């Protein structure tokens, strides 16, 4: 059996060295048998082929308009119902005040995601985008997960394409990758039974790509999923990227156990985090970038991830997100200075590159 394993790993290593695609059964084999050192070596080989010694970050902040949400995802520590303790709703004036606070702080991107509010329509979000664009014309607006988009389009009785075109016209520049969770339909019935399904999530991203809106992609891992379901998820993303080329970056998101109904299962180890980064980088050969979202895993593990294929650390954040702090992440007040990000990247022997949202280089440190 050991000899068979060695031969399969050698075959995968040869494919990677030659720049060839590995198949789903190879990806599954890596999850089941590959060691940490092997995965580090192969994933860094892929990473260097994609982006050399560069590791990217940007100056960004988040706005989370509300955590009131129609869905009841078992892994979520963030959502609330009306009048439930811990719930919030920002008014448009509140949102614009937040935008204005960062106007002169060199931020290049705002990331807007929140709960799926039952009363807010496409018209509401179009107006929000127009007001933000008017207040700060140069700010890049990355906003609304496919789950949020699905609800606002259905509520407003418009097609996905019409809704996206209207949002793009109002100021939407790109779409984040949230809401993907795990695509396996049977597992979704257990962890997020009333949420936008996997086919719809993928279709919304495909439509966005077709009309020129770039998007990101995520996978929530470390809960009830198995390796077969992880590889299926990665493969569906890879197939869509083959068709459109519209994904900019893949972001593995670790399940955190605090304050949600799945908490009794605990969390996967740091070793599993690093293995997952590496296998994602090796398998997603058509994704240009792999991101470690440091508010979710912490600065120390984010630094380690740079030896497992990661070439992006997100951004400064400026203590503007509560999604992972409410789930028990180590950084309860997530913010990092540019100097901190540069130091973290340099400590791994890599080159810090400040980017815009589309990965254009702004400054090399």
Instruction: Please name each of the domains of the chain with its CATH number.
Output: 46-364 (3.20.20.70)
User: What strand order describes the sheet that includes 351-355?
Assistant: 312-315, 54-58, 351-355, 361-364
Q: Is the pLDDT at 28 greater than 90, yes or no?
A: yes
Cα(254)–Cα(220) distance, integer angstroms: 6
The answer to whether residues 120 and 90 touch, using CB atoms and an 8 Å cutoff, is: no
Burial profile 93-129: b = 16 or more Cβ within 10 angstroms, e = fewer: eebbebbeebeeeebbbbbbbbbbbeebbbeebbebb
pTM (predicted TM-score): 0.94
Has residue 334 got a pLDDT over 70?
A: no
pLDDT at 1 over 50: no
Q: Per residue in 31-73, pLDDT tens? A: 999 999 999 999 999 999 999 999 999 999 999 999 999 998 8
pLDDT over 90 at 175, yes or no: yes
Evaluate if residue 27 carries a pLDDT over 70. Answer: yes
Q: Taking all residues of the chain, what is their mean pLDDT, rounded to a whole number? A: 92
For residue 175, count other CB atoms closer than 10 A to its CB.
Answer: 26
CA distances from 127 to 102, 141, 149, 165, 297 (A): 20, 13, 15, 14, 35
Task: Using a pLDDT cut of 70, give the percent of the chain over it.
Answer: 93
**pLDDT tens-digit profile of 295-332?**
888 889 999 999 999 999 988 866 555 554 454 445 55
pLDDT at 86: 82
- For 263-284, what is the mean pLDDT? 95
pLDDT in tens, 77-135: 877 888 888 888 999 999 999 999 887 778 899 999 999 999 999 999 999 999 999 99
């Amino acid at each position: 059996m050991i000899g068979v394993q060695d031969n399969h790993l050698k075959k995968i290593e040869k494919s990677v060295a030659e720049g060839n695609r590995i198949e789903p059964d190879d990806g599954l084999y890596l999850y089941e048998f590959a060691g940490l050192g092997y995965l580090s070596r192969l994933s860094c080989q892929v990473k260097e082929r994609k982006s050399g010694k560069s590791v990217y970050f940007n100056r960004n902040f988040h706005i989370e308009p509300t955590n009131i949400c129609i869905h009841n995802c078992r892994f979520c520590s963030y959502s609330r119902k009306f009048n439930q303790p811990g719930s919030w709703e920002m008014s448009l004036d509140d949102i614009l005040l937040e935008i204005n606070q960062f106007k002169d702080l060199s931020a290049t991107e705002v990331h807007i995601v929140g709960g799926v509010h039952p009363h807010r329509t496409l018209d509401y979000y179009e107006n929000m985008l127009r007001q933000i664009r008017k207040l700060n014309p140069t700010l890049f607006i990355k906003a609304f997960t496919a789950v949020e988009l699905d609800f606002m389009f259905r509520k407003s009785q418009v097609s996905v394409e019409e809704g996206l075109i209207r949002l793009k016209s109002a100021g939407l520049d790109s779409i984040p990758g949230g809401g993907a969770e795990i695509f396996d339909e049977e597992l979704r019935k257990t962890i997020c039974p009333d949420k936008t399904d996997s086919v719809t999530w993928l279709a919304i991203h495909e439509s966005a790509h077709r009309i020129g809106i770039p998007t990101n992609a995520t996978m929530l891992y470390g809960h009830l999923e198995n390796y077969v379901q992880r590889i299926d998820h990665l493969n569906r993303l890879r197939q869509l990227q083959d068709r459109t080329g519209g994904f900019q970056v893949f972001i593995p998101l670790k399940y955190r156990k605090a304050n949600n109904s799945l908490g009794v299962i605990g969390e996967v180890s740091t070793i599993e985090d690093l293995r997952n980064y590496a296998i994602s980088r090796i398998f997603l050969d058509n994704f240009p970038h792999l991101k470690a979202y440091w508010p979710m895993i912490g600065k120390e593990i984010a630094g380690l991830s740079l030896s497992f294929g990661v070439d992006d650390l997100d951004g400064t954040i400026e203590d503007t997100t509560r999604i992972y702090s409410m789930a028990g992440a180590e950084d309860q007040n997530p913010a990092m200075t540019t100097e901190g990000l540069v130091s973290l990247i340099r400590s791994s022997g890599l080159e810090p590159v400040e980017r815009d949202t589309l990965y254009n280089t702004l400054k090399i440190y």
